[in-house]
Structure formats: structure tokens, C-alpha cells
Chains A and B, each alone.
Chain A
């Protein structure tokens, strides 16, 4: 791509960006949200047209007018959320875009071909299985297989690891290696630095629509100073403390959970949480950490075990009940469950606490509502021209802050954060970490569910590890290392009585 620019109304999304992808090279593109990464992808896949500049494929200028043409040229993209058809099986999904199938499907050949493509990637999947039951990682493998079947030459991967567990990331990286060896040019967009440094041959930084730097891995490898430099270039400012949990004195016992279970989902969950404490929930995808969160918030109540809140036994059956106790749950699914995107920031913030903003007649006091929204906009630094803007128009990080505001305004005593930094940029991530640390210092108990292991380790006072619905152990800050937590999460560590005791520590 040479000198590509693109402007949307008032924003210059891309300005004079030139980028070269080579066959057999993994080219990582990093930058904050809004840096122009998505626009670049959309131009490469024909969704948008550049205002100026040209795209050359093997030296010849091409005009990619739509995604169909991109596909014909051998350019394919896969995204964070795989786009498979849940009711079709694996083989059908792989060959969904093939036109010359004729009127009658030759199932035998279809399945054999699908198996051949998957073998090429060293992926073992039953091609007759419907896509619905597949894990996210397997769905991504299917999407990659789909691209291969179309003779992909340029594969764009937009944050493919955002929803994957560490083990699945390893699998994905093996697939990427194999593609690289087959001479595919790969553009890898990522937020997790260690992954980028691990997989990329070349690393390019975008900021505010401009290309800031482009380096090979050799220039950066094993040079912490160089890595910090890359992060600085992304955010355009010095990164101080990346993870920010400060020591806070542990307060009173807030909640005790004893042998909590839900049939067929999770069982044997035991922990205590104190005021001012961050309790991390670590585990791989499918560890059922979210289900424990939902049980504590009354969305999907538990059916066995006991919960003591302030020393009193409680049964949490509805979210309202949980909220009355002072429990708030900030979902991992921002768009589906956390925010009503077409409605305003202010509307979203006051939703759980709307009763406070009603006058005697049940009418909303808009002034009070706006004041609250403004207060949180300042306090959490939500970057928006107005609190009346639709939430859907904000970047992921700012949406996350709106969701936090919404629940902080409920003045909770126990805050359950489910993947609070997934899919948000480095700066917003650091800000969220600061907020968590501040809240703990103010005496909130915080349950931090996160698949980002360094984050859990840095932010938590204690770490509870789950695996497939079972509690594998609770580690103190000193005990918890990448190795101990990962070993437990992968099932090398069976729960013992000492863990139950550790839970009470």
C-alpha cells in the first residue's frame, strides 16, 4: 500500500500510510483504538475505498471495490469474533464461498477436501460437526481453513487472540507458523504485546492514522528498552506503571462463599473476600468463571452451597436482590449485555439506579441525571464531546468506562469485573487498572475475572484458579506466578483440603 489516505467527515482516519507485506512474513500492526487499524483493513478488503493512494499486489496496481473482489485477489480477513454459520457443519463452512459446486453437493468429496485443508493446518476437527458447538478457537481455525481453500495470499487477522485462552493462542500461533511457511503474507493486529513480540517478523506502529514506525523483530528482540519504545510510540506518551494495583489494607470480611455449585455448570467453589481486596479469577476459556459471577449476581442463581454476605446467609435469586446487597456485575459482553448502544451515555449510566433520578411523579430528573453523567465523565476520563452522545459511537475503551460508571454509580460494596480490559487499547487499559486499584483502596471488594494472566497476577491480592467448573486452588500474591496459576488452570493441580483453608486466609 502506498500513500493511502482516508477521511470520514471530520476525522482523518488514515494519512499517507505506506505498508508492504511480504510472502512468508508475519507483519504485526499495533496501535490504540482509533489509530486507523480497522480502516486499513477495510480498505484492504474492499469495504472502504481510499481517498488517495494505491494498492499494489505483486507490483501491479489493483482496485478492490468490494469484499468479493478482495477474495478473488486472494485477500481474506478473520476477526476477533469468527463469522461461521452455526447450523452448517465444519466442511460446509470451509467451502461456503465456493461457487462451482454444482446443483448437487458431493458430500463425500466435500468432507475429504475439508479434512485435507485442516490437515494442512495441522488441526484436528470432525468436519461433520456443526459449527455451533465449536470453541471460538476452533471456529477461527475453520475460518482460516476457509481462507486457505480460497488460495489466500494475504491473510489479515484482526485481534484473533482477544477471546482465546493461552493454550488456544499457542494453537493459533502454530497455525500462523504453518501459513508463514506456506508463503502466505500475514497482517496480524494485536493488543497483547508479548504475543506481538512473539509471532511477528515485522512490527508497525500506527497512531492517529499515521504510520509511526516499522521495525523487524531482530531490531527489537530481547531488548526491553526497545519494547518500551514501541509502546511509547503507540500511546504517544510515557507509560509509567503499566499495572497499577497498590497495596491497600485489607478491611472486614465482606462475603464468604461455601461449596457453591450449579448442576452441570460448576461446583465446589469456596472463597472469602474482604473489603479492599482484589480477588482474581484465573482460568482458561470454559473454566466457568463467568458462571460463578452470574450466580453471585442472581442472573443464573446457584443451586447448592451457601453465600454469607456481611456474615449473614443470603440467597441471591435476582439481580435486584444482588444490587440491594451491594453487588454489581460488569459483564464481559459489552455490546450484548452491558450497554444499549443506540442510547445516550447518560441513559446508560443511570439505568441500574434510575429510581434515584425520579421525582415524586415518577418522572426522570434530567438535570440530576446529566450531572451524574458529567461527574463520571470527568472522574473516569470518558472521552466524548457530550454525555448525550450515543454510546455506540464511542471507542471500546470509553464504552468500558461508561459501563464501569454505570455500576460504580450503584455504589456497590462488591464489584465483579468480567474481562474489564478485553479489546480495549493500551491507554484505556492502564486507566481501567488505575480505577480498579483506586476502588480497592476505597474499600470495595473486587472480583476480577480475566483471561489476561499478567493482568490477573499484577492486579490481584489473591488468585482463585478454576478449570472446567471446578475450583483448582487459591493462591496468595506471593504464591501466584504464571507457572503456578497456569499449571492449576490446565489441571495439574487437584483441589485439596488445604485449598479450602487457603480460601479462608
Chain B
């Protein structure tokens, strides 16, 4: 008995049960919920955050944090908008936007990997600095009137019913799972997250691994920023502001430890599905956005507590049992 339900002790198991519950509830209460169109719509509303959450999973498992992702999204989108307005063809402007993200990643990597500053500080500076750059570029204008093909990529299905961003997500998801869960690089990410000293003493190039991750993080964020611009059909200086917290929430709710070293992309995938469906279900049940956010917050606290909760409940049960046994003997 004990072993059959032992997966419940893992956070992923609880997430799975919660997901099934939410999906069944939504399916019963809302006709048309279980259609492809509805699910694509669900994903599409947060697709850029979900894409960035994939790479954020690597970063947090590595025991680091990247707070600058949302500002990098803004920087890449605004770079693209600025250059397009200045007369550059859209495809080139988009490429430059992406390169702006790569540059931001290299900048972060330099301070974290070469100089050795904590990523929290470096990327907090990035959060402020890259957002500032984005505002410098577009000031308080809204830049739109992008070519029709560009907006279509953001808004219309590309292959079958799936828009470009969904396809990007699927491709990145497959790559991310293969790299993190099955490759040598992924193994290093976990080991460094557990103890970078152990990794160093085993000849693992710790700083190099971290630098690769931070360049990848900003690059993926820049790509997500461009996709977001295409979906909105316009860019402003405040585009994607505050997204970093939603992204980090997705990752932590998926059972990834903020201290690094544990968690998996499977858990993050479950957490994304739960957040989307929970919000959808609560929306349909006429709960306000604030209540939805509150519920997600409670879940997040539970996700951090869960591993400790299970063991402390068990310990107090054992103590209780020991006492009653003892009382039975002496009494």
C-alpha cells in the first residue's frame, strides 16, 4: 500500500492530481472546454512566459536566478520597433532585436561567470538597466503598423491549428527536456545546483556552464519578446513588465527548489498546465483576477512547504505513537 501511493509524497504527484481535478471540474462545468481551440487559446494567452519558464528552469536548478528576462523581452521588442521605425526591413529589425538579447546575455554572463558576482544582483541591475534602454529607444510612443506577415505570425495559425509561438514552445520543450534530463550538460546543471564546489573538485567547468545558461536565458527571452510584439501588433516601453515574477512562479510551483539541484521540466510543465486551467476555471466561475492570483500564491507557498510538511507530519505522528505506546505500558 505504502509504495503504491508513494508518488504522492512527491510534489509532482500532487500536481498531477490537482491538474486532473481542475480539468475534470472545468470539463463538467463548461461545454466546449475540452476542444483544441480552447486549449490553444489558453496557452496562447501566456505563451511567451511559458517559453521563458523553460530556460528559467535550467537557471534555478543551477541555483541561480535571472530577474532580467522580462526586461530583455522589452529590450528586444523595442530594439526591433525602433529600427523598423527608422526604416530597417522587418526581418532585419527582428534579427537585431534578437541580437540585443544575446548581447544582454553576454553582459550578464560576464559579471556572473568571469567577475563572479551573484546572479541576483547582476540580473536585478539588468532588470532595471535593460528596461531603461527599452524606454530610451521608444520613449513613450507605441510603435505599431508592422508588416502584415509579421502580425499574422503572431496571431494566426501557422501549421494546422498552431500559431508560431506554440510551435516554438513545443520545439523548445522537446530540446529542453532532452538537454536537461538526458544530456551530460543537464547533469552538470544539476550537480552545480547541488554543490558547485563538488562540481569544481570534479573538474567540471562551473563558470562556463553558468555563462552558457545566462546567454541562453536572454536569447530565449529576446525571442519571446519578439513573439509577444507580434501577438500584440505593437511595442511600448513597458512591454512585458513584471513577467519575470510569473515566470519564476511557474518554475517554483513545478517543484523546482529555489536552492537549486532538484526539480524537473515535467514538474514545470504540470505547473504551467495547472496555472492556465486554474485561472481559466476560476475565470469561468466568475472569480476576479485578484482572487485567482491569491490562489496561485497559496499554491506556491504549499509547493515550498510540501517536502518539509510531509516529513514533519510523519515525525509528529511517530512521536504521538511513541507516547501512546509508552502510556499504554506504564498505565
- Which positions in A face B, CB cutoff 8 Å? 49-52, 63, 299, 318-320, 322-323, 329, 331, 336-343, 347, 351-352, 354-355, 357-358, 361-364, 406
Residue of A nearest to B198 (CB): A340
- Let me know if A336 and B184 touch, CB within 8 A: no
B192-234 contacts to A, CB under 8 A, are: 194-195, 197-205
Contact, CB under 8 Å: B200 / A336 = no
Q: A319-B201, A331-B201 are in contact. List 17 more A-B contacts (CB 8 A).
A: A319-B200, A319-B203, A322-B203, A323-B203, A329-B201, A337-B195, A337-B197, A337-B201, A338-B198, A339-B198, A340-B194, A343-B191, A343-B194, A352-B203, A357-B184, A362-B184, A364-B183
Tell me whether A51 and B185 are in contact (CB under 8 A). Answer: no
Contacts of B201 in A (CB 8 A): 299, 319, 329, 331, 337-338
Using CB atoms, name the residue of chain B closest to A50: B322
- Do A343 and B190 have beta carbons less than 8 Å apart? yes
Contact (Cβ within 8 A) A355 B194: no
Q: A51-B322, A52-B329, A363-B184 are in contact. Are A351 and B202 (CB under 8 A)?
A: yes
Give the residue of B184, B195, B261, B326 whose beta carbon is less than 8 angstroms from that of A354: B184
Cβ contacts under 8 Å, A358 to chain B: 183-184
Say yes or no: B322 contacts A49, CB within 8 Å: yes
Q: Which residues of B contact A355 (CB under 8 A)?
A: 184
Binding site for A on B (CB under 8 A): 178, 182-185, 187-188, 190-191, 194-195, 197-205, 261-262, 319, 322-323, 325-326, 329
Inter-subunit contact B194/A342 (CB<8 Å)? yes
* Nearest chain B residue, comparing its CB with the CB of A350: B187
| Least Cβ–Cβ distance between A323 and chain B, in angstroms | 5
Say yes or no: A51-B325 contact (C-beta < 8 A), given A319-B201, A320-B205, A362-B185: yes
Q: Decide if A363 touches B197 in the complex (CB within 8 Å).
A: no
- In the assembly, what is the distance between CA of A478 and CA of B205, in Å? 43
A368 CB → nearest B CB, Å = 12
- Note all chain B residues with C-beta closer than 8 A to A351: 187, 191, 198-199, 202, 204
CA distance A25 to B198 in the complex (A): 42
Output the least CB separation between B7 and chain A (Å): 16
- Asked if B184 contacts A340 (CB within 8 A), the reply is no
CB closest residue in chain B, given A362: B183
Let me know if A352 and B187 touch, CB within 8 A: no
Neighbouring A residues of B188 by C-beta, 8 Å? 354
Complex Cα spacing A338 to B199, Å: 9
Partner of B319, one of A49, A52, A320, A357: A49
Name 5 interchain pairs, CB-CB below 8 A, sorted by A.
A49-B322, A337-B197, A340-B198, A342-B261, A354-B188
Measured between beta carbons, the chain B residues less than 8 angstroms from A299 are 200-201
For residue B325, which residues in chain A have a CB less than 8 angstroms away from its CB?
51-52
What is the distance, in angstroms, from A448's C-beta to the closest C-beta of chain B? 18
Q: How far is the CA of A288 from the CA of B191 in the complex (A)?
A: 28
List the 9 closest pairs (A to B, CB-CB), nearest first. Answer: A49-B322, A319-B203, A340-B194, A352-B202, A351-B202, A320-B203, A358-B184, A323-B203, A362-B183
Closest-CB distance, B22 to chain A (whole angstroms): 30
Contact A363:B194 (CB < 8 A) given known A299-B200, A352-B202: no
In the complex, how many angstroms separate the beta carbon of A93 from the nearest chain B beta carbon?
Answer: 27
Identify the closest chain B residue to A357 (Cβ).
B184
Q: Which residues of B contact A357 (CB under 8 A)?
A: 184
CA distance A322 to B203 in the complex (A): 9
B187 touches A363 (CB 8 A): no
Residue of chain A at shortest CB distance from B205: A320
Cβ of A331: which chain B residues have Cβ within 8 Å of it?
201
Give the residues in chain B near A319, CB-CB below 8 Å.
200-203
Q: How far is the CA of A1 from the CA of B89 in the complex (A)?
A: 85
Most chain A CB within a 10 A radius of its CB, from B178, B195, B205? B195
Question: Which of A63, A331, A343 gathers most chain B CB within 10 Å?
Answer: A343
Closest chain B residue, CB of each to CB of A358? B184
Q: Which residue of B lies closest to A407 (CB)?
A: B202
A363 contacts across to B, CB distance below 8 A = 178, 182-184
Q: What is the distance, in angstroms, from B192's C-beta to the closest C-beta of chain A?
A: 9
Q: Which residue of B lies closest to A6 (CB)?
A: B322
